[in-house]
Structure 1
Amino acid sequence: MAYLLKGGIIATFTSENKAVSYKADVLVEGSTITKIAAKIDATPGVEVLDCTDKWITPGMVDTHRHTFMTVLRGSQCDWLLTEYLVKMSWSIQGAVTPDEVRIGQLAGCLDALHAGVTTLLDHFHAALTPAHAEAALSATRASGARVIWCPARQSQPTRLFPNIEYGKEEEAHEWQMRMLKEWGKDGGKLTADGRVTFGWAYDLVGAGPIEVHQEALKEARQAGVAIITAHVVQGPRILVWRDARLLGPDVVFSHCTELADHPAPDDEMWAAMKDSGSAIAATPEDELGMAHGNPVAFDAVRRGVKCGLGIDATSINSGDIFTQMRMTLQWTRARGHEQVHLSGQTAPKYNEWNSADAFRLGTLGGAEAVNLQHLIGTVEVGKKADLVVFDTSSVNLAGIVDPFQGVVFHATGEDVELVMVDGEIVKRNGKLTKANWTEVARELRQRAQHIRERFPDEMLQEIWSKYYEQHPGGPQFR
C-alpha cells in the first residue's frame, strides 16, 4: 500500500538532534517514508489522507511495559512495589492461564496503539509454560504493534512460607533455554517483516553463581536476541553486571532509581552505563507512586546515557507515553526548583528542560535506547512509517500552536486520529483496525473477573500481612 499524508504539520526531532515543526506532505510506500516535501502530487494507487493542519509525529516508543498485565488493569494502583511482588509476582502470576495471558497481551498492545505508542519493549514475565509464551506471542503478532518481545528467564515460586522456594526452576530453565534457540533461529525475527523481534528478560543476575548467568546471557546473544532487559531499582546491580562483563549496548535496565542518589560526576555506576552503551527505561508514574525511588530520565540525558520512557505494569499505570512525558518533565522541574529554593540561589530565568526535551524522550530517545534509531523515532525519509496523526480540532488540542507542548501537556489517546506501524494503518478515524475492540473488551472483562474470583482482595491482603509480619518492610532490593 501507498499513502500520501497531505497538508499536515510534522513535529519531530531530526537525526541531527534538532526539534523541528513544519508543514509538509509525507509519502509512504510500503513500510517506508519515501518522500517529504512542501507539496507532493497524488498519483494513481496512492491513498490520500487529509491531514490539513493536523500534527504528524513519530510513533511513541515504550521501553518498558508488562503488556499482558492489562488483564489485571485497575486492581493494583494503590500497591507499593514490595506489596506488588508478594501479591502479584509471587501469588497471582503463577496461576494465570494462557487464555488470560493472551487477552491481556492483545488488549495491552491495542491500548498502546490507541495512544500512539507504536513500539513496545515488552518484558513478558509470565512465561510459565510454553503455552503461556505462545499465547503472548500470538497475540503480539496479531496486534499490529512493533514489539521487542522479551520473555523472562525465570520460574514461579512454588512456596512462599516460611521461606520462598522455587521448586520448578530446573524444569523452567530447561524449556526456556530450549525455546531461546527456537525463537532466535531466524535472526531474532518473530514475524516475517521483522515487526516483532526477539529479546530476553533476565532478572537473575546476583542470585547464585555468576558463571551460570554469564553462560545464559552468552547463549541469548548467540541466539540473536535484539535486547536484554532487566529491572534495576535499588542496590549496586549495575556494578554486578559490569564486573561480570555483562553490560553492553543491547542492555536496557528499567528504572535505575539507585542512580538518583549518586550525583557525583565521576560516579562509577553512571560511568559503567555510559561506557558500555547500556540504556535506561524510566517509568516515572510508578517509580514515584510505588517507592522505587526518584526518576532519573533527565539525569541520564545530562550525562549522555541512552534513555527512553516506559509504562511498566499496565495493571497500575496509564497506557500512554503522554503521561510519562509530562510527569518526568514536571518532576525534574520541581526537584530543580526545590534545590534552588533550599540553597538560596537566585531563581533561574527559564526552566532547564522544556516540552520538546520530554517529547524526545518518548520518541527518538526511546528508539535510541532499543537501538532502533536508524528505523524509527523520527519523521524522516528512509525511516519506517511508524506515524501518529493528531486531531488538532479536538477538545484537548484546539487552538494550540506548538505541537511539542500540545503533545506533552494536553494530548490523550482520544486525540490520536490515525496510527501507522510499518506502513500499515492500525488506527483510522479514531478506531482500531486490527481487532474488534468491543469483542476484546468483552473477553477482557470476563477473564479479569475470573482472576478476581480466584484471588479476592481479602486473600491477597492475608498473604501480604503474613509475609510482612515475617519479613518487616517486605522484600528487599539491595
Structure 2
Amino acid sequence: MTGPILFRDATILSMDPAIGDLDGGDLLVRGDRIEQVGRNLDTPPDATVVDARGGILMPGMVDTHRHMWQTALRGLGADWTLSQYFVFYYLNWGKIFRPEDIHAGNLLSAIEALDAGVTTTVDWSHGLQTPEHGDAAVEALRAVPGRFVLAYGNLLGAPWEWANSQEFRAFVDRHFTSRDDMLGLQLAFDVTGDAAFPEKGAFEAARELDLRVTTHAGVWGATGDDGIRLMWDNGFCTPGVTYVHAATLSEDSYQRIAASGGTASVSTESEQSAGQGYPPTWQLRRHGIPVSLSMDTSVWWSGDLFSAMRATLSADRSREHLEAHAAGETVVHNKLRARDVVEWATIGGARALGLDDRIGSLTPGKKADVVLIKNDRSPVMFPVLHRYGHVVYQAGRGDVHTVLVNGAVVKRDHQLVVPGLDRARAAVEATVSYARSTMGEEAWQQAREPEIPATEVIPNPYTYTDYTGDGVAVQHADA
C-alpha cells in the first residue's frame, strides 16, 4: 500500500476515552500517523480502502516482557517447572548460546509478534553474555519493521559490573546515541535481596544513562520483598521501573511499588504453570498498580497476547471466587472486565514503556500502530455482540487480518508482507542443530522429557553472586 490508508466500517476499540468505541467506524492513516477516527470519513483520492466490515479495529498490542532469544528453542520447556528453566539456562546451557543464536531467536520472535498483532515488544534479553551478543540482538530487531525495546541483560554476569563496563558503554554508543521510538533501550536485571545491595551500581548506571529498568520481582524462591525494600531504601523505586511477575510480594512491597508509580508486567500463563506465584492482578488492582501484559518466553508459551488476555481474565476471576468461597460467600459481579485486559494489552503496555503519548490508542496524531481482527472464513468471528469479550475469549492470532506499524503495512489479508521468515527458519534450524549436538543427545532428551526425581535445592540460581539468603532458594527437580 502507498498513500493514505482508510479502514472503512469497523467496530473500533479506540482505547481513548475521548473517542470511545464506534460501530461502523472509519480510521484514516496518512504517513506514520493516525489522521482521523470517526464515521463516514471522506476518502482521499489516492487512498487504499480496507473493507473492515465485520472486523474489530484496535491499537497494536504491547508485550512488556518477552525473552525473544529463547524462541529458537520454541516449546522445548513445555513440561518444565521454573526450577528446571533455571537449571537449563542459568546453570547448564545458557552459556552455549552464540551471538548468531541470539540473532536467530530474535528474528523469529520479532516476525511472530507482528503476525499476532503485537506491534511493540520488550525484548527482555538476558542472554547477552558479550556486547557481540547485544550487537546480534540489535541487528535482528532492526531487520524487522516492528517497534521494539531491547532490555539489555546478562543472566550469567553481575549487573553492577556489566552495566558499568567500557564494553557496554561502547555498545550503547554504537546503537543508541540517538533515541527513536522504533528501537528503545532499557536495563534488565534482578535484585536478589543481598543486604549489601550490589545491584545499586546497575541502578546508578541506568540513572546515568537515563534508562528505564525492568526486573523480575516477586518470583517465588528467587526474588522477594528484600529486593523491593532495598530498592525503596536507596531511592530506586521510581516510575521508570517495571516489576515483572510481582506475584509473591507482601503488602509492604505492593504499597512501595504503588507509592513510587512503578508498573507491573504480568505473564499469567507463566505464573500459573511455571510457579512464580499466583497471577497477581487481583493484588495489583487492590493497590492501584498499573498493569501491562506479557507472554514471557516461547520456550514455554504461545507468542501472542490473545492467550495472555484470556488467561489473565480467567485467573483473576478464579481468585475472586476462591477468596469468596473461603469466606463462605458468592461472587455475584466480576470486578475485572474484558475491557480491562484489552486495555492492559494496549495502552497499559504503552504507559509502562513511557510511550503512551505516541502509541497504545487509536488517537489522531499518534503513531499508526493498528490491528484489524477480521476473518470472514471463520465461524468464530460472528456475531460480535460484546466487543471486548470477543477479542479476549473468541478471537485468536489466526484472525489477525491487517497490521500496521508506524503506518507501514506488515500484514495484509492474513499474510505477512515482511521479509525474513525463510531466513529466520534457516537460522533457527542451525541453532537447534548446534544446541542439540553441543548438549549431547542424553541432555537434549532430558530437556524435552524431564524425569520426576526427588527434589533438592538450588541455593541461588544467580551464579554471579554467592548470596544465599532466605529470599533466594529454589526447589527443583534435577533434570
Aligned ranges 1:18-167 → 2 under 5 Å: 20-153=21-154, 155-156=156-157
Contact 2:195 2:230 in 1 (8 A): no
Match of 1:160 in 2: none
Shift of 1:243: 1.3
Shift of 1:315: 1.1
Residue in structure 1 matching 2:240, options 250, 265, 287: 250
Shift of 1:293: 0.7
In structure 2, relative to structure 1, the CA distance for the partners of 1:15 and 1:367 (3 Å cut) is farther
Q: Does 2:423 correspond to 1:432?
A: no
Match of 1:315 in 2: 299
Contact 2:339 2:389 in 1 (8 A): yes
Contact 2:67 2:297 in 1 (8 A): yes
Shift of 1:440: 2.5
Residue in structure 2 matching 1:12, options 11, 14, 22: 14
SS in structure 2 of the partner of residue 257 of structure 1: coil
Query: What is the CA RMSD across the aligned residues, in angstroms?
Result: 2.8
SS in structure 1 of the partner of residue 363 of structure 2: coil
Residue in structure 2 matching 1:407, options 380, 391, 411: 391
Shift of 1:131: 1.7
Q: Does 2:173 correspond to 1:182?
A: yes
Distance in 1, Cα, partners of 2:403 & 2:162: 41
Shift of 1:473: 8.3
Residue in structure 2 matching 1:223, options 202, 205, 209: 209
Distance in 2, Cα, partners of 1:439 & 1:184: 23
Distance in 1, Cα, partners of 2:76 & 2:347: 32
Q: Indicate the larger mover: 201-210 or 2-11.
A: 201-210
What's the % identity of the aligned pairs?
Answer: 28
Distance in 1, Cα, partners of 2:444 & 2:147: 35
Contact 2:124 2:150 in 1 (8 A): yes
Q: Deviations over 1:414-452 (max 9, x none)?
A: 100111111111111112222242442243233223212
Q: Deviations over 1:348-405 (max 9, x none)?
A: 3332222112211211222222222211111111221111001142423232332211
Shift of 1:113: 0.9
Match of 2:231 in 1: 241
Query: So what's the TM-score if we normalise by structure 2?
Result: 0.87
Residue in structure 2 matching 1:386, options 369, 373, 388: 369
In structure 2, relative to structure 1, the CA distance for the partners of 1:186 and 1:473 (3 Å cut) is closer
Q: Does 2:400 correspond to 1:416?
A: yes
Match of 1:454 in 2: 438
Shift of 1:90: 2.5
Distance in 2, Cα, partners of 1:238 & 1:427: 41
Contact 2:261 2:289 in 1 (8 A): yes
SS in structure 2 of the partner of residue 400 of structure 1: coil
Contact 1:155 1:169 in 2 (8 A): no
One-letter amino acid of the structure 1 residue matched with residue 349 of structure 2: G
Shift of 1:27: 1.0
Contact 2:292 2:348 in 1 (8 A): yes
Shift of 1:19: 6.0
In structure 2, relative to structure 1, the CA distance for the partners of 1:472 and 1:107 (3 Å cut) is closer
One-letter amino acid of the structure 1 residue matched with residue 188 of structure 2: A
Match of 1:369 in 2: 352
Shift of 1:71: 0.1
Q: Does 2:457 correspond to 1:471?
A: yes
Match of 1:350 in 2: 333
Shift of 1:154: 5.1
Shift of 1:200: 1.1
In structure 2, relative to structure 1, the CA distance for the partners of 1:184 and 1:138 (3 Å cut) is closer
In structure 2, relative to structure 1, the CA distance for the partners of 1:413 and 1:209 (3 Å cut) is same
Q: Deviations over 1:318-353 (max 9, x none)?
A: 1011111111111111121122223212x2333222
Contact 1:205 1:241 in 2 (8 A): no
Shift of 1:468: 8.2
Distance in 1, Cα, partners of 2:290 & 2:125: 22
Q: Indicate the larger mover: 455-464 or 41-50.
A: 455-464
Shift of 1:239: 1.5
Shift of 1:469: 7.3
One-letter amino acid of the structure 1 residue matched with residue 246 of structure 2: C
SS in structure 2 of the partner of residue 13 of structure 1: coil
Q: Does 2:188 correspond to 1:197?
A: no
In structure 2, relative to structure 1, the CA distance for the partners of 1:249 and 1:15 (3 Å cut) is farther
Shift of 1:152: 0.8
Contact 2:22 2:38 in 1 (8 A): no
Shift of 1:206: 3.5
Distance in 2, Cα, partners of 1:108 & 1:144: 12
In structure 2, relative to structure 1, the CA distance for the partners of 1:419 and 1:254 (3 Å cut) is same
In structure 2, relative to structure 1, the CA distance for the partners of 1:204 and 1:293 (3 Å cut) is closer
Q: Indicate the larger mover: 397-406 or 212-221.
A: 212-221
One-letter amino acid of the structure 1 residue matched with residue 57 of structure 2: I
One-letter amino acid of the structure 2 residue matched with residue 49 of structure 1: V
Distance in 2, Cα, partners of 1:399 & 1:442: 41
SS in structure 2 of the partner of residue 9 of structure 1: strand
Contact 1:142 1:434 in 2 (8 A): no
Question: How many residues align structurally?
Answer: 454
Q: Indicate the larger mover: 398-407 or 132-141.
A: 398-407
Match of 2:477 in 1: none
Q: Deviations over 1:78-129 (max 9, x none)?
A: 1111111111233222111111111110100111111111111111011112
One-letter amino acid of the structure 2 residue matched with residue 419 of structure 1: V
Distance in 1, Cα, partners of 2:194 & 2:252: 22
Distance in 1, Cα, partners of 2:342 & 2:282: 12
Shift of 1:57: 0.5
In structure 2, relative to structure 1, the CA distance for the partners of 1:462 and 1:429 (3 Å cut) is closer
Q: Does 2:325 correspond to 1:341?
A: yes
